[in-house]
């Protein structure tokens, strides 16, 4: 299958080259700089936002006069624990590092005057910087907005798709921004939101968020139990009789290494095939525990 990655009964691949690691680090730093720039030098001074926890933080910073960087960090950290049981310590540490870097850079840029006070220019440049920065951070395994984690948790409790929940959450935040800052600013915030969304999609092009894992082995039940214990409700595991080729698992990209280790520990003779997905229709898959 095109795009599939085979693991198990194959020689171990070489470790990631130094230049690849350096590129990842530079992408991480560039993403944090872009997000901080978009927030502090374009959106916040012009009372604009793009939804998500950034929008909530901008509103709270306006009402309380607290530093935006601190609000970004402390609002996002609780959402991190919603996904912590299934992402592993290394992924959780990377996500925490992303939040910390964005918060520190935002604090450093707080005294700098805005680059423009024209709302249309601020919405275009701020949205582009925020979307591109978020894309670079997500590609490296970090995350920038806790709304996504809240949506995946809420998906188990309401009969709405993930896309519908994300849109509903962001529209609600933008509406609150309109009440607080005025509807003229809300219009420019919608433009910033659209630009950020398109910039994120462009930056994430060629990357993937989810992975389909197909497992063939002799200890399916042990592997299935381990996967459910590892990922909780964050993945879908087909029962052995539901998959002719063995087990089929839908996981996030950050869970790939942990799933590989768990499967080979439970069954060293297992063969694993990982297929990256550019996009997943969440209505197509069931979530364990539902």
* 190-215 residue pLDDT tens: 999 999 989 988 887 766 666 778 88
More confident residue, 3 or 180: 180
CATH of the domain at 252: 3.30.70.120
How many CB atoms sit inside 10 A of residue 191's CB?
A: 18
193 lies in the same domain as 85:
yes
pLDDT of residue 236: 53
Query: Are 266 and 223 spatial neighbours (Cβ–Cβ below 8 Å)?
Result: yes
Strand, helix or coil for residue 155: coil
Query: Are 215 and 246 spatial neighbours (Cβ–Cβ below 8 Å)?
Result: yes
198 lies in the same domain as 216:
no
199 lies in the same domain as 226:
no
220 lies in the same domain as 144:
no
CA distance 204 to 139: 7
212 lies in the same domain as 194:
no
Please write the tens of the pLDDT for every residue from 97-113. 888 899 999 999 999 99
Count of domains forming the chain:
2
> What is the dihedral angle through the alpha carbons of 212, 214, 219, 223, rounded to the nearest 10 degrees?
-10
Phi-psi category of residue 66: left, alpha or beta, with phi > 0 → left and psi -120 to 50 → alpha: beta
> Comparing 117-126, 230-239, 271-280, which segment has the lowest mean pLDDT?
230-239
41 lies in the same domain as 149:
yes
């Amino acid at each position: 299958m095109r795009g599939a990655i085979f693991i198990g009964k194959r020689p171990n691949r070489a470790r990631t080259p130094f230049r690849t690691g350096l590129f990842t680090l530079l992408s991480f730093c560039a993403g944090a700089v872009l997000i901080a720039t978009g927030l502090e030098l374009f959106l916040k001074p012009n009372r604009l936002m793009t939804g998500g926890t950034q929008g909530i933080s901008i509103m709270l910073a306006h009402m309380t006069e607290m530093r935006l960087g601190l609000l970004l960090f402390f609002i996002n950290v609780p959402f991190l624990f919603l996904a912590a049981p299934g992402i592993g310590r290394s992924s959780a540490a990377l996500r925490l590092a992303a939040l910390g870097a964005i918060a520190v850079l935002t604090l450093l840029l707080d005294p700098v005057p805005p680059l423009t006070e024209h709302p249309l220019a601020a919405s275009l440049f701020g949205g582009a910087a925020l979307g591109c920065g978020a894309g670079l951070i997500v590609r490296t395994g970090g995350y920038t907005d806790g709304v996504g984690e809240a949506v995946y948790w809420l998906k188990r409790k309401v009969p709405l798709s993930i896309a519908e929940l994300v849109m509903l959450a962001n529209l609600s935040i933008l509406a609150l921004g309109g009440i607080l800052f005025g509807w003229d600013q809300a219009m420019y915030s919608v433009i910033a939101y659209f630009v950020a969304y398109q910039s994120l999609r462009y930056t994430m092009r060629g990357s993937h968020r989810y992975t389909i894992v197909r497992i063939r082995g002799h200890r399916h039940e042990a592997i299935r139990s381990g996967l459910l214990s590892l990922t909780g409700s964050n993945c879908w595991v087909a029962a052995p009789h539901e998959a002719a080729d063995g087990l089929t698992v839908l996981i996030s990209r950050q869970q790939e290494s942990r799933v590989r280790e768990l499967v080979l520990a439970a069954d060293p003779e297992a063969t694993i095939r990982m297929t990256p997905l550019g996009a997943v229709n969440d209505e197509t898959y069931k979530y364990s525990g539902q």
